[in-house]
Structures are given as structure tokens and as C-alpha cells.
A and B are shown apart, each in its own frame.
Chain A
Amino acid sequence: MKEVEIRRLFAANLLCVFSVILTAVVPALLWDGFTVLGTHLVWLCICSVCVGTVNVILHLVLKPNRSPKRSSLAHKISRFLKCCIYFFMSCIVFHAIIVLYGAPLLGSVTETFLFSVLLSTFTTLQCLCMLGPNIQAWIRVFSKNGAMSIWESSLQITTVCSILGAWFGAFPIPLDWDRPWQVWPISCSFGATFGYVAGLIIAPLWIHWNRKQLTYKSR
């Protein structure tokens, strides 16, 4: 059972990684003048949308968490609206935190906001898919011994990796190398993306490695 689950998780994660790679390659073929560096904002949008869509589709197909008991249409719609609101709020919160960390306050608002959208896609959207608009469940997952399935463990790892990647991405900005990717927010968004991809790959491997030690409380 567990092995099968891990294999499913691995496949799903590989799909996500694949989608990230495709966002960098496919638009360049379709559209003249597209480069990840040159038209970075466009790539940010494309990457957010693609990863978001893939995540939602995977969630609908795989259904890693049990469906809620009530599933009327009204309930579903309200859930969906709530998710949208949560996502938007997380974008705003990320934006605020990034600015507090030292991003320009007034200049390059678009860049900062798109970067926060990307970060939200990597972190909040996954949580929304996995756990629904339920803050308390989020709090539970992100504490010690809080994960209740391998999907939630994977969620922990990818989220932390994305944020760490974004954090490390800020490091090259002050260097005087004069590279195009040192411009705000390119290095940070690269960092976040690499972190996300690394998290996606690490998560199933880590779970596989520690499958003996990992025991999940059943609900």
C-alpha cells in the first residue's frame, strides 16, 4: 500500500517538475523573443499558471485526501470562493513580507507582486489543494509530527524548500557581477523555482528512505 502511494506521489511530483521545465522551453518555441531572463515577468505568469493548473488537475485526479462529507454544489462553490480569497490574501501577505525584507517599496511593484504570486503558487496553492481552506489543518501540518500522510509530508518538504530557495535567491543580488539574472526579482524567483523542484524530487526519495520510521496517525 505504502509503496504504491509513494510511487503515485513520485509520479505526480515528476509531472510538476516537468511542467516547470516546459514553461521555460515551450513558450520559447512558440513565441519569438521569449527568454526566461529577458521576458521574465511573462515567464513568471506562465509558470504560476501552469504549475497552478497542474496542481489542481493532479489534485482532482489523484484525490489524496478524503472528500468531505457534505458535497453539495453550494458547498463546493463556497469552498472554491474561499480558496480564491485565501490565495489572493496569501499573495498580499507574501508581498508585504518581501517588502519588509527589503524589496523596493514603491518601485517595481509589478515584479514584486508577480514574484509573490509565484511563491503563493508554490506554497499556498498546494496547501489549498491538499487541505482546503482550513487554516487549522495548515497549522497542524506545519508542526512537528503533524503530517498524517505521505502527501502531507511531501507538502511540508516542498513548501519549506520553495521558501528556502527564495531566501537563498536573495544572496547574489548585492554582488557586483553585473549579470542579467541579478536583477530583482529574477534570482529570487529562480531560487524559489529551483527550491520547489528540488523539494518535489527530494520529498518522495526522503519518504522512501524513511518509510520505516514514518508512522502516520490515522484520523
Chain B
Amino acid sequence: MQRWPVLLFLAWVCLLFFAGIGLFMSGFLLTRIELASSSSCSDPLLPPPWQGQSLPPGSCWAPQRFSKAVLVIIDALRFEFARFNPAKASPLPYENKLSFLHHLTTSQPRHARLYRFRADPPTATMQRIKGLTTGSLPTFIDVGSNFATYAIQEDNLLAQLVQNGRRVVFMGDDTWEGLFPKKFFRSYFFPSFNVKDLHTVDDGILQHLYPTVDSGEWDMLIAHFLGVDHCGHKHGPDHPEMAKKLTQMNEMLRSLVDHLGNDTLLLVAGDHGMTETGDHGGESEKEVNAALFVYSRTPLFGTGPPEEPEAIPQVNLVPTVALLLGVPIPYSNIGEVMAELFSGDSDTVSAALQQLSVYHINAKQVDRFLQSYSLVAQDLPAEQLQRLQELFSGAVEEHTQLLDQVQGATLVPPELESRLGSLISRFQVYLREARAVCTQSWARFNSLRMVGGCTLIAASCLLCYMAAELAASSDSFYRSCLLYPLLWGLVVAVLLGLAHVFTQEGLDLLLVSSCTAAASQLGFFWHWWAWLGLAFPMGILLFRCGAMFSDSFVVAEARVAPFLLASLVMLLVGKLHWDGRLTVPEGPKQQVLGFSSYRREMWYLLCLVATLLVCVRLSGFFHQCREEIPQCRPSLFLSPLASLRNTRAKNLFYLLCVALLAGLVYAVRSWLRHYGNLNSSDPLVLFVRWGFPLLVLCIACYWAVVSSADDSLGKLQELVQVAIVAFPWAVYGLASMGLLLLLCNPLTVFAKDTWESAGSIVTPYLGAPSSEVDFLHVIPQIYKRMQESQKNRLERGSCRATIAAYGLGSVYSAALVIALTLLGFLLMLLHSERLSLAFLLLFLEAFVLLHIHTRARGLPFSVPWYAVISWLLAASQFFYSTGHQPIFPAIHWNAAFVGFHLDHSTNLLPAVLVGANTFASHILFAVGCPLLLLWPFLCEMPSSQKKKPKKEPREELQEVEEHMMEMRLRESPEKFSTALLQLGLKYLFVLGAQLLACVCAAMILRRHLMVWKVFAPKFLFESLGFVVSSICLLLGISLVMRVDCAVSTWFRQLQLR
């Protein structure tokens, strides 16, 4: 088989998987349908008037109560931050800091009130802004668009205000700029992305806030402060910095209230809360529980505040603010008005009537929304809609009757009050139930697409397995396995495309591509249906996949993966022992005794297994925690060195990390030297010799600058700012230069011609150019291209040419090892300093795994299943051991700022950096996957050498032929390509099986309590990991093929000489 078909085939299989993932995702992560309609002033939603009241000019739907409003959003203002408890003797840093709010509520109980503000999950800022302005519920998929904020298409509060000629002024978080382009009368945006920066946004707002308020050129002023949230992310809530920040907010509010006029409503809201570690995004109580504070200089409330602050959903803010300011409620709002704000200072009955009229408007708006929504989409259940409709019409009817009776003065206060009260509660019931119905059914799934995606992935898995088994046996593999399926797919795609053209329907690209994928798979199975009965021998993989179906196991996966890895390796050793491959064949003497003794290699193998187990156990110390396990404490190694207070410990850790880096470089260099790949003077080898230490130096300098204390450097501050950016860029530059060199000329072979007589075909020691070459390892370094010299011998008669090539035997692995080291440096740079220990463990464990695999290998040209499975188990184990968890709060966002001091101009680059950080182990293991095939060839030399210590020169000739190492692969290019294909397919199969388990778990358990907390994030991480892994696998295999091409040209040049 050629090289290209192999890559093409693997790419095709990857695309099949991608199509399956896409199809499943489109069914699983459904978005709510956004209605394009918007409310307008002239909509016939007016309630029946009472007491001959008519709308004042400038009001829509309801009489305007305030002409201006100030909305202060303090990001991540948890309810506990806003609450003031004077009885508390020793408050925590975040407690009792907003004393001014307390002062207002106690001194003016009818002017001010504090609420618990219940945010809907997901509690990410963008989703919350959407909820706060549209009054609708967010969906899960919105989390994915956090990097790129898109304009809100739905009707929203800001659009209504602008439509009704109000001037909206904004200052603060620049997320709003993307959400509401060109909506603001005036705006002051500040970059929000850098979470380490506590002050830029807040100081910027404070600079403009009071002048703007005093100028009076606004009707709605929104100020979005980010300092508290960023302080939570950087230090956590329980930190003196948080106290400072909250005190600053308190002072801000105090002076803001002084600047307000009588006709202004002040709202202070937190968009979400934060956990004990300062993160948010999930749906735990602490994240959901934000604070809302309402104040005006005119009395707002009819009665004093209740004992315990009332809890209100976040969407309720939208209709309330809209009606208070006299603009229509946004079309898709499902929130309920906060009626007590409408009572004013009139008597009980008229207050209740006023409340009823706003409820009436609100209910009519919600009813209109539900009706037009049910026309567009069928996902709201019909019988529930029917019931809601009955509730609504009943309440409206009674309202009309009641108003007639009030006007006719047939009702007296006690009875009137009770009837008003019951009617209000009927409206409340309607609004709340409508909201509940929407919440429930917007988590609906498209089961057909989900099943389809699942089947596609499962069939792809099966295809991988069969193709891996078939690759070795079939001759016409390429034609029947790639060409026909692709043709099938093409035909179906063309047919579908034609159908769409004729029916003039919109082309659903996803549907077309998945149909194509399904058809091309059908084409494959059509040819190989007879092989469907293959048995599955992989119990461990089955356990691994089964574990995806239990939320507890997904939560505990950081411990499950190493457990299974250890079991797999132990099982392998046990099996080898059981098969007697570790014992010496019984000699006559031993047979008498009935005993067998171990080979010496047995002890070597046991040592390897012990090292592996120790590695696995040690890597468990770098764990990150999930909120599901409350007693868990995240590993100390995850925090950056800068957070260490103890200078001595900091220095020690720093030295340790740098020493480890240097150790890694030394190990790689001595490995290369051992196999003779450091002899030539090619640019790549020179890079390995000098570039690697330089890389380490740059990383060490960067760590030193980053981990030094913030303020200690004083005047050097500017220099430090430059260095923080410059050093990572140096590393990026050097590493990419190394990778480019590797691509241009991946050969690390040093060839030396000798023209000698027949006597010494074997050139013993040729005095390598480098004095560092170890004399002992010269023989293994020599690969003698016998065919070459044979040919030359024929051509030139008596004169014999011998070419000694150093490092040819390990030319493939050397290229991979260099690439892996470079990638390793890049990824270590993106992690916090002390995780380099985990990376060292990763390299060590991979090395040990390769050696164990070499000891236990069977057929030379095929990689056994257990090796691939253990390799992938190690990959997922190190996903956890580099401080990651498959949940959104655990993503290391800091990685986006390595080498970038301020904000990013595009979203692609930070996404790549964060992605590389998250999937570091997936990347390394996938690129290194071809080593599984190469390593046994690499290690064949020592054993055969031991067996034949000293022979006659003529026999030595044969022996040298046995030292071909990786050149064996070169000898049979057909087998080599097949083996690479097989390896790739096996890797994809195991990855695909894990993915399939995740997909099935998400599908089957979609009504599970934990689906949004555990299974859906797990599925997203796993599918992203699959994409990253498969791309990296293709890259690794293409690198090997690139080396193969280079070796071919090298031989051709030799022949020409």
C-alpha cells in the first residue's frame, strides 16, 4: 500500500466520526428557537382601564413611574457579599462590606430593598446578560459561544428603550459591545478578558460615572463592574483583596446615590454568584445566588421589608424595569413583574388594582409569546399549553368583571381586598407555571438525530475494528475499503444535493454530510459483511466505557483511569507469565525437579511494572477537584509559584522545576546520542544540541519573571512587563523553528563513506565527528546497507564501497522524540510551573509503557490491542494529572495569556492556547502513537547482541544484518504502511469506543439529574478530545511518513554517489 491511501483512509474514518459527533450534538444540545418579532407601543395589550385612568404621554402599555434608571451590575455579587449582619463580630473578608446598602434599607425602608436574585444556570456572564435583557432562559449551547460574543437577535430591553427614543449609556465590560452593537447613545467599553486585571474596568467606569450622571444626557445608564468577579477568579472570595474591592464598590454606591435625582430608579444587581474558589458557570447554590438591590428617592414600597429577603428569578427584572420606565415588555420575556414596586404610596385597594393591571399586561404578553412560539415550534406540550390558556382566560375574565364591579362600587373593601388578593395570586400562578413549562421543555432533545449520531459513531467504531483486522490480510484493501465507500458517499451526496436544488429547500449541510457518511459506511460494510462476526476481546475497554454511564464514575474518573491502567498492565504481566513466556524453557535438569526459573529479563520487566505503578500513583498528586466531591482539596501543585508566600519554598520549587526541565533535555539528548542520532551536522541536530538548552533557558527565565512577587521589583516593572511577553514568544519561536526544521529535513543520520578492500566490510569504529560519542555503542549505531554495497560490488568489481550510517536504525523514532520534546516544552509553558513535574512523569510513564510493550510484543508488524488501550488510558489519566477536569470552571483560562500581556484581538489564538493546555496529554500521546509500532524494532538490538557475544567475522556480517532496527520497516514498505494504517485504526477505534460510551450515556441519561452537570460537559470534553487526538494522530503518522520519504531520497542520493 502507498503512503497517501493510508493517510486518506485514516482521514476518512476521522471524518466519519466527526459527522457522527456533529449529528449527535445537533440533537443533544438543542437551542431554543428565537422569535424575530418584537413588541411595540401600539400592541393591543392594554388592560381595561379603571378609574378612568389614561396613559400619560411618553408611556407605553403602563404609566411610566420613573423617567430614568441606573442599572449597576457588579459581576459575581453573591448575596452574601451584599448582606450586612451587624451582629457578626469577626466578619470574613467578603462579609459586611456593603454597609451603605444596609444603611439605606434600615433608614428608608420604603425606598430601598434587598433581594436574593436567583440566576438561571449556566452562570456565565454572557448568558446572564442575555437573560437580564431578554427576560428569557438561556440554553446550554450558549456556553460554547463565550469566546465570541454575538449580537442578541431577540427582542430585548435595550432594543425597546432605543425604539422608544430613550438614550442608553453604557460603561464597563466590553461583552456588551458585541451583544448590543450600535444600541448605545454613548458607551465606554473596557477589556474584560484578562481576569488577572482587577482595576482597569472599575477605574475606567469610576472615571466616567459621575460626570455622566451629572450631565443628565441619558435615560438609562448601565455600569458593569468586573473587579469583584476578577478578584474572585484571581484570589477567591476569602481574600483581603476582595474586602478592598467590595469597600470600593460601597464607596461608589454612596457617592452615586448622592448624584441621583428624584425621578431615578437605582438597581444594583449581581449577574451571578461565585463558589468558594471564586469560579462560576455551574448551578450550585453559591453560584446561582446573587443579590439585587432596589432604591429610589421617592417611596417605592407600600410596606416595610420582610424579615428574610425575598428570592426572585433573574428574568423578573426585565418586565419590571420595562413597565416602570414605560416601555413595552420584550417579546420573548417569560419573567414575572415584581408587583410590589408598582404599588406606590397610594392606599391598599388602588395599589392592588395597579398591581393587577401590570400583571394583566405581563400575562397578556406571556400568552402572546406562548401562542406565537407554539406556532413556530412544537416543543411545548399541547395539553400544558391548553391548561395555561384556560388559566389565562379565566384570570382575565375575572379581572374584567372585578373592574366593572369596582366601577359600579358594588364591592366593599374587606371582600374587595380578598378578591383582589386571590386574583393577583391567580395571575402569579399563571406566570409561574408558564415559566416552568418553558424551562422544562427547552431542555428537549431531538431523539432521531441523537440516535442517528450514536449509530454513526458505533458503526465507525466497528469499521475501525474490522479494517484493523482486515488491513493485514487483504490485497485489494485500498480499493474496496476506500474507493467504493467514497464513491457511495459521493453518489448519495450528489443525489441529496440535487433533491435540495429541485425542492428549493434550505440546504442542511450537517444532514447532508451525515447522510453521506452513513452511505459511505454502507459501502464499506457491503463489501465486508461476512466479517461482522468478529469477537471482542477487550474487557478493560468495556469497563472503561461502562464507567461513562454512571455519574459517580465520571466524577471519579481521575481515579478510575489509573486503576484500569494499572490493572491492564498487571493483567498483561500475569498473562505473559501464565503463557510461560517469562520462564526459561524447561531444561532436562529442571524438568526433573519440576521447577522453572525466571529469565533475567523477568526482573527487568518487574522493575518496569513497578516504575509504571509508581508513576501512575504519583501522577495522582496533581489532581484538580470537582464540586461534587466536597471533601476534596485541589493539589497544591496546581497553583502558580507566584501564589506561594514562603520565599524559600518558592525558590526550592523553582529550582526543582528548572532542574527537571534540564533533566528532560539531558535525557532526550543522551537517548539520541545512544542511538547515534546526534552525530551529523544537519540543522536539526544542531538545533537539538543548542536549541533545546536555549528553550529551557527561556522557559526558566519566564517562570522566574512570572513567579516573582508583583510589587517587589519596583522600577524594573516595565522591564518585567516586556519580559513576560518576550520570553514566551522566544519559546514559541524556537519551538516552531524546531518543528519547521523537523519537517524540512527530518533525518538525523550521519553517513560516512569508506573505500576499503574486501577484508573489513564491517567498519568497526570510525571516529565520529563528535567526541561525545560513546565508544560502547558504536556497533548498534551502525546500520550497514548491505544491498547498497552488494550493488556497488557488482558495479565496480573489486573495489567495494561501504557506507557506515550512524543513527539510521532509529531515524523514525528520533524524529518523533524530537517533535514530542518540542511539543512538551510548548505545553509545559502553558501550564503552571509545578505541573512540569507531571509532564516529566508523563514522559517517564510513556517510556516505561513502551518498554513493557516491547518486552511483551507478539508479531513484529502489528501493535497489539492492549498496547493501544494502555496508551489511551495513560492519555486520559494524564488529562487529569495535568490538573484538568471535564467541567467548565476547571479550564485553565490563564493559558490564554502566556505571551500576551493585554487583550487578544482575535478569538482564535486564545482558543488554541486554552485548547492546547486542556488537551495537552491527548496531544502528546496521539503524536507519540507511532512509537508503539517503532519501539520494538528499536529495542531488538540488545537481546540479539547478548545472544551472540563473539563470533567469526563472517558470522558477524549476518549479525549486523540483524541490527537493522527500524530499517526493517524500510525493507518492506508495504507492511510498514499497513502497520501504520492498522495502528491508526486501532487508536481511532479505542478513542471512538470511549466517545461512543459518552454519547450513549448522554443520550440515555438525558433526563438524569446530573446531565448538565456531569454527562453533557463530559461529552463535550470527550468529543473535543477526540477531534484533537485524531488530528494529532494524523499529524504523527504523517511525520513518520515524511521521514520515510526523506529516507528514500537519502538512499537514492547514496546510490547516485
Contacts and interface: CB of A to CB of B under 8 A. Distances in A.
Interface of A: 97, 99-102, 105, 136-137, 139-140, 142-144, 148, 167, 170, 174-176, 217, 219
B556 A219 contact: no
Contacts of A142: 577-578
Closest 10 CB pairs of A and B: A174-B556, A136-B595, A100-B613, A175-B552, A176-B552, A100-B617, A174-B552, A143-B580, A219-B594, A144-B578
Nearest to A143: B580
Q: Is the interface of B mostly helix, strand, loop or mixed?
A: helix
For B551, B579, B596, B628, the residue with the greatest tally of chain A CB atoms inside 10 Å of its CB is B596
A39 B794 CA distance: 85
A219 B551 CA distance: 54
Nearest to A137: B595
Interface string B593-621: 11111100000000000000110110010
A137 B590 CA distance: 11
A137 B579 CA distance: 16
Given A174-B556, A175-B550, A176-B552, A140 B617 contact: no
Contact of A174 (B559, B562, B596): B559
Contact of A99 (B551, B567, B617): B617
Contacts, number: 62
B619 to A, nearest CB: 11
Interface string B563-598: 100110000000001111001000000000111111
B559 A102 contact: yes
B596 A101 contact: no
A100 B617 CA distance: 5
A136 B596 contact: yes
A137 B578 CA distance: 14
A22 B193 CA distance: 67
Nearest to B550: A175
A176 B617 contact: no
A138 to B, nearest CB: 10
Contacts of B556: 174
Contacts of A101: 563, 566-567, 613, 617
A143 B580 CA distance: 6
Contacts of A102: 559, 562-563, 617, 620
B620 A97 contact: no
A119 B515 CA distance: 55
Contacts of B578: 142-144
B595 A143 contact: no
B544 to A, nearest CB: 12
Contacts of A140: 594-596
B553 interface: yes
Interface of B: 550-553, 555-556, 559-560, 562-563, 566-567, 577-580, 583, 593-598, 613-614, 616-617, 620, 628
Contacts of B566: 100-101
Given A148-B594, A176-B552, 20 more contacts: A99-B617, A100-B613, A100-B616, A101-B566, A102-B562, A136-B593, A136-B595, A136-B596, A139-B595, A140-B595, A143-B579, A143-B583, A143-B596, A144-B579, A144-B580, A174-B553, A174-B555, A175-B550, A175-B553, A219-B594
Contacts of B617: 99-102, 105
For B567, B617, B628, the residue with the greatest tally of chain A CB atoms inside 10 Å of its CB is B617
Contact of B563 (A99, A136, A170): A170
Contacts of A100: 566, 613-614, 616-617
Contact of B567 (A144, A167, A174): A167
A176 B551 contact: yes
A179 to B, nearest CB: 12
Contacts of B594: 137, 140, 148, 217, 219
A210 to B, nearest CB: 17
B1040 to A, nearest CB: 34
For A105, A139, A144, A217, the residue with the greatest tally of chain B CB atoms inside 10 Å of its CB is A139
A136 B590 CA distance: 11
A199 to B, nearest CB: 16
Contacts of B628: 176
For A101, A137, A167, the residue with the greatest tally of chain B CB atoms inside 10 Å of its CB is A101
A176 B626 CA distance: 14
5 contacts: A100-B614, A139-B596, A139-B598, A143-B577, A144-B579
B618 to A, nearest CB: 10
Contacts of B580: 143-144
B596 to A, nearest CB: 5
Nearest to A99: B617
A167 B563 CA distance: 10
B333 to A, nearest CB: 38
For B551, B595, B628, the residue with the greatest tally of chain A CB atoms inside 10 Å of its CB is B595
Given A100-B614, A174-B555, A174-B556, A139 B563 contact: no
Given A136-B595, A140-B596, A219-B594, A97 B579 contact: no
Contacts of A143: 577-580, 583, 596
Contacts of B593: 136
Contacts of B616: 100
A94 to B, nearest CB: 13
Contacts of B562: 102
Nearest to A167: B567
A170 B559 CA distance: 11
Nearest to B567: A167
B595 A97 contact: no
Contacts of A105: 617
Given A136-B596, A137-B594, A143-B579, A174 B560 contact: yes
Given A174-B560, A176-B551, A139 B567 contact: no
A175 B628 CA distance: 12
A174 B553 CA distance: 6
A97 B577 CA distance: 18
A143 B595 CA distance: 11
Contacts of A99: 617
A99 B563 CA distance: 11
Nearest to A148: B594
Contact of B613 (A97, A148, A175): A97
Contact of B597 (A136, A170, A219): A136
For A105, A136, A167, the residue with the greatest tally of chain B CB atoms inside 10 Å of its CB is A136
Contacts of B553: 174-175
A175 B547 CA distance: 11
B852 to A, nearest CB: 15
A161 to B, nearest CB: 14
A139 B606 CA distance: 14
Nearest to B553: A174
A119 to B, nearest CB: 14
B737 to A, nearest CB: 41
A100 B610 CA distance: 9
Contacts of B577: 139, 142-143
Contacts of B555: 174, 176
A170 B596 CA distance: 34
Nearest to B575: A144
A118 to B, nearest CB: 19
For A99, A139, A170, A174, the residue with the greatest tally of chain B CB atoms inside 10 Å of its CB is A174
Nearest to B614: A100
Given A99-B617, A100-B617, A148-B594, A139 B560 contact: no
Nearest to A145: B580
Contacts of B595: 136-137, 139-140
Contacts of B567: 101, 167
A144 B578 CA distance: 5
